[in-house]
Amino acid sequence: MLYRECGVYRTTYAQDAALFPLPADRIGTAVLVLAAVLLPPLLGTYWLRGILIPFLVFSLAALGLNFLTGYAGLLSLGHAAFMAVGAYAGVILYGRYAVPLPLALLGAGVIAAAVGAVAGTPSLRIKGFYLAVATLAAQFLITWTIQHVPWISGGVFATINTPTVRVGGLVLDTALRQYYLAFVVVALLTVFGMNLTRSRIGRAWMAIRDRDIAAEIIGIRLLKYKVLAFIVAAFYAGVAGALVVFCWYGSANIEEFDLVNSVRILGMVIIGGMGSIVGSFLGAGFVTLLPILVSVAVHKAGVLIGGGAANSLISSLEDLIFGAMIVLFLVLEPLGLARLWKTIKDYLRLWPFPY
């Protein structure tokens, strides 16, 4: 009832090709976008800097990896390194060469994409788990290079702070403005990504994912599309990395882009739902926000039972609970949170009048 598909007639090609053919989807998305634009001024800096900006940044990174893993069926454990490339490229372009911020963001993405193209070439021959581990070579090689080339790392700290961030004449010094920059970038790239997955490229990726030999036989050039998947994924990661610098930490620090983060982003894609745009956001939310929620809850509970020397025990329980939650949600919905979301929509289609 609430989520209706019937009664929607597509009478023109334009209607058929619309991003959101269903009124319910259109309204829902509009409400969400409006909320994302109008609500933040009412939220404090904690919500923006502690929750929403990290969420947006990781969503973008997860979205990028989802093209690679969810759509093209290729695994990568080097995604955080692509973010590092973007972070350093962005801050060097903006800080050292005074490239305007929008161009610096684009440049960060392009340079990361170029690195991604090289890192992606083994995918033609290597598959599955072997490819995932092979991409670790990229992870280690990239972080090593950034640290060991002083021109990139900016010296022994291997940490480059960004100068005051300006877009045009506007100084991005408040949490709200940083949030809006992140939001605009993520929104644009999300729309681009939605269209990309429905384009020739996206369909070629899905064909490769489902059966690469079959895809090859019907005339899809594997090398081109596999490398393209790496390029797009690395582009998104690069922009996300630049956002880490400009909107979140204020500095590019190589230690923030280690293997742990690569695994974390892969976790977002799988828990969120492979081959789903919404899933990337849900997965990023799950992996970045749930540990915080668990931590707050566990420590509150800890205070109720005593605190003090028991603090270490309480903190250890956080990991235990977070791990159990991952298992629990996967058992409930092995195809990810996006599938869960679809199940809810299916339920709402008939609610409140089930057969």
Partner 1 sequence: MRMRRVWWGSAAAGLAVVLGLSIASGPAPGAPSGGVQVIDVPQPIYRTGPYAAGGSGFAGGREDYLALLNSRGGVDGVLFRWSECEDAYDTARGVECYERTKKDMVVVWPSSTGITYALVDRTIQDKIPMVTIGYGRSDATDGKTFPWIFPVLGNYWSQASSFIRYIAASVGGEQNLKGKRIALLHLDIPYGREPIPMFEDLSKQFGFEFHNYPLPAPGLEQSAAWVDMARRYHADYVIQWNFGQSCTVPFTASRQVAFPIEKFMGVWWCGSEEDVRPAADLAKGYVTSNFTGVGRNFPVIQQILSTVYKSGKGNIDEARVGTVYYNRGVIEAAVFAEAVHNGIKQFGLPVTGTKVRWGLEHLNLSDARLKELGLTGMIPPVTLTPDDHGGVSSAYFQRWDGKQWVRIPGLWQPYADLVRAQIAKSAAEYRLHFR
Partner 2 sequence: MSPDLGFALELLVSGLLVGVLYAMVALGFVLIYKASDVFNFAQGAMTFFAALALVSVLPHLGWPLSLLFVVVLMAALAVVIERVALRPLAGRPPLALAMSTLGVTFALGGLAQALWGTEPQRLSLGISPEPIQAAGILINRVDLVAAGAVAIIVAALIWFFQRTKLGLGLRAVADDHEAAMSVGIALRRVWVVAWTLSGLVAIAAGILWGNRIGVGFAVSLIALKALPVLIIGGIDSIPGAIIGGLIVGATESLAEGFIGPLVGGGVQEIFPYLVALIFLMVRPYGLFGRPVIERV
Of 208-227, which residues contact partner 2 (CB under 8 A)? Answer: 211, 213-214, 217
| 341 interacts with partner 2 by CB under 8 A | no
Contact 275, 63 (CB under 8 A): no
| 250 interacts with partner 2 by CB under 8 A | no
Q: Which two tokens stand for residue 324?
A: 């159990």
| 323 interacts with partner 2 by CB under 8 A | yes
Contact 74, 215 (CB under 8 A): no
Cα–Cα distance for residue pair 107/285, rounded to 1 Å: 27
Tell me the window of 41-49, 98-106, 121-129, 226-234 that interacts with partner 1 (CB under 8 A): 41-49
43 binds, among partner 2, partner 1, none (CB under 5 to 8 A by kind): none
Smallest distance from partner 1 to CB 56, Å: 13
Of 290-319, which residues contact partner 1 (CB under 8 A)? Answer: 291-301, 303-304, 307-309, 311-312, 314-316, 318-319
Member of 250, 339, 342, 349 binding partner 1 (CB under 8 A): 250
Cα–Cα distance for residue pair 59/11, rounded to 1 Å: 35
Helix ranges, the chain (H)? 13-16, 23-38, 45, 53-66, 79-91, 97, 101-120, 128-148, 150-153, 175-198, 200-210, 212-217, 222-243, 259-272, 277-305, 311-332, 337-350
Smallest distance from partner 1 to CB 100, Å: 17
| 145 interacts with partner 1 by CB under 8 A | no
Q: Which residues, 6+ apart, have CB-to-CB distance to 82 below 8 Å?
A: 64, 112, 115, 116, 119, 142, 233, 234, 237, 238, 241
| 316 interacts with partner 2 by CB under 8 A | yes
Give the DSSP H/E element, type plus range, for residue 78.
Answer: none
Q: Report CA-CA distances (Å) from 234 to 81, 115, 118, 162, 228.
A: 9, 8, 11, 22, 10
Contact string (CB under 8 A) for partner 2, positions 266-285, x = contact: -x--xx--x-----------
With the C-alpha atoms ordered 235, 134, 211, 271, is the resulting torsion angle positive or negative? negative
Member of 14, 42, 156, 213 binding partner 1 (CB under 8 A): 156
Chain center to CA of 97: 28
For binding to partner 2 (CB under 8 A), which residues are involved? 122, 125-127, 129-130, 133-134, 136-137, 140-141, 144, 147-148, 211, 213-214, 217, 259, 263, 267, 270-271, 274, 312-313, 316-328, 330-331, 334-335
For binding to partner 1 (CB under 8 A), which residues are involved? 45-46, 49-51, 54, 95-96, 140, 144, 147, 155-163, 173, 248-251, 253-256, 258, 288, 291-301, 303-304, 307-309, 311-312, 314-316, 318-319, 321, 324-325, 328-329, 331-332
